Amino acid sequence: ILQLYGPLDQFGASYRSLQKNFIDMERMLDVFKEPVEIQDKPDAKPLVITGGEVVFENVSFGYKPQDSNLKSVSFKVPPGKKLALVGPSGGGKSTILRLLFRFYDPTQGRILIDGQDIRNVTQSSLRKWIGIVPQDTTLFNETIEYNIEGEDVDSDDEGLEVEGRIQAAAEAAQIHEIVSRFQNGYATRVGERGLRLSGGEKQRIAIARTILKNPPILLLDEATSALDTQTEREIQNSIESTSKGRTALMIAHRLSTIVDADEILVIQRGEIAEQGSHEELLQAGGIYAAMWVQQLREDRTPVESSDSSEKE
């Protein structure tokens, strides 16, 4: 926990927070590429969360005027429910999450959170209520504790209380056990000058950070890289505990992680091609069912784990 004495340390602190904001932007770049400037309306009000319902109403969008990367997409995620987005590369999954985070505005239709058009609320309030677990997490060249704590922790909190909450978040993200095995525990430095963590471990640190932030709405971008079965299961468990009680929109690459989603959207060429639960979509025997069969086949062929090979 940081303790500040005098102006020099304060300078250090603001430098760190500057560095942190910079890296936060960097971290979002995988789902949230090339954001353009969106301005708050002069009369923008803070978003008021009553349950965390997300609604897309005939949303169309193109990155360029001549493109239509989303074509009249409509769906509703009730408070606390889990929506999975699947489908071929370039279909528009990330675009849906970027629009919800309001990096762009739809060219037609509207996006509502708890009944409020997100174009009418302040961006700071919108982003405060939405947590993101990106695909590839860049960690700070700092301690594990610092990496989990993030900037949203109230600095007036008693040190011990914060420590307890960091550990609780790490436990929920299934990274506590690993951290406790390090000689310096949560004070272990990560990054270039410290410990190297695997992709799966880094993602769990990001999950712990999100648990600590405690947002009612979660956007998850599952890593595309192949993980070993054990790591995959651990991440899956930690994602499940993170999304419990929260509205979650998740881009899934491994279908095994979304069997329990309340609803699955198959996004293809900017449109919802199929929609339903895992069972319903298997029954329908369409695109999703074919993807499922394909994945089962691939799972039978052993893949080399990138999770452990990243470690050295």
Contact residue for ligand ATP among 63, 75, 140, 182 (CB under 6 A): 63
| Rounded Cα gap, residues 147 and 2, in angstroms | 13
Q: Which is nearer to ligand ATP, 89 or 301 (CB)?
A: 89
Torsion of Cα atoms, 280 then 284 then 287 then 291, to 10°? 60
Task: Figure out which of the listed residues 46, 51, 90, 159 binds ligand ATP, where binding follows CB under 6 A.
Answer: 90
- The size of the interface with ligand ATP (CB under 6 A), counted in residues, is 12
C-alpha to C-alpha distances, 228 to 16, 231, 309, nearest whole angstrom: 35, 5, 10
Q: Are strands 54-61 and 108-113 parallel, antiparallel or unpaired?
A: antiparallel
On the CB side of 200, how many CA atoms lie within 13 Å of its CA? 24
Residue 124's contacts (CB-CB under 8 Å, 6 or more residues apart) are none
Q: Smallest gap, in angstroms, from Cβ of residue 264 to ligand ATP?
A: 14
Is residue 94 within the footprint of ligand ATP (CB under 6 A)? Answer: yes
Indicate the length of the chain as a whole number: 312
Of 99 and 212, CB closest to ligand ATP = 99
Q: Nearer Cβ to ligand ATP, position 107 or 120?
A: 107
Nearer to ligand ATP by Cβ, of 32 and 186: the residue is: 32
CB 207 within 8 A of CB 181: no
Q: Does 34 bind ligand ATP (CB under 6 A)?
A: yes
Q: Does position 95 bind ligand ATP by CB under 6 A?
A: yes
In the region spanning residues 242 to 271, those forming contacts with ligand ATP, defined by CB under 6 A, are: 267
Q: Tell me if 37 contacts ligand ATP by CB under 6 A.
A: no
Residues contacting residue 168 through CB under 8 Å, at least 6 positions apart: none
Residue 38 is a binding residue for ligand ATP (CB under 6 A): no
Which residues contact ligand ATP (rule: CB under 6 A)?
33-34, 63, 69, 89-95, 267
